Amino acid sequence: MELKNFMKNIKMTKDYKKTPQPHYYTGNLYGYSAKDIVDDFDLSAWKAQALQYILRAGNKEGNPAEQDIQKAINVLHFELEKIHEESKTLTGGLAQ
């Protein structure tokens, strides 16, 4: 399929920011969303994913808290691998 035809088939809404996030990504006390926190702290993709898993742990129907916590740990391992590769050390550059 040509790119032009492909782009015609993609349906983007102008109001995508108004689409509510699921309740398990929004805080009860202040109403902060996971996206707001990710944006405010300028988190990397892996840290953002871990945060989302942690925030929804035990709150998403059909997902036990243990499953989401394990997913957060897994993606944090990916973040550590990235840090180690970038710093070329096993300590992430913390120890000299």
pLDDT band at 96 (very low <50, low <70, confident <90, very high): very low
pLDDT tens digit string along 12-21? 555 656 677 7
Residue 22: per-residue pLDDT: 83
Question: What is the spatial distance between Cα 43 and Cα 50, in angstroms, rounded to a whole number?
Answer: 10
Query: Cα–Cα distance between 33 and 22 in angstroms, integer?
Result: 9
Q: What is the pLDDT of residue 10?
A: 57
pLDDT, tens digit, 9 for 90 and up, residues 15-71 = 656 677 788 888 888 888 888 899 999 999 999 999 999 999 999 999 999 999 999
pTM of the entire predicted model: 0.69
The CA distance from 46 to 57, in Å, is 16
Could you identify the residue written with the tokens 């998403």? 60
68-82 mean pLDDT = 95
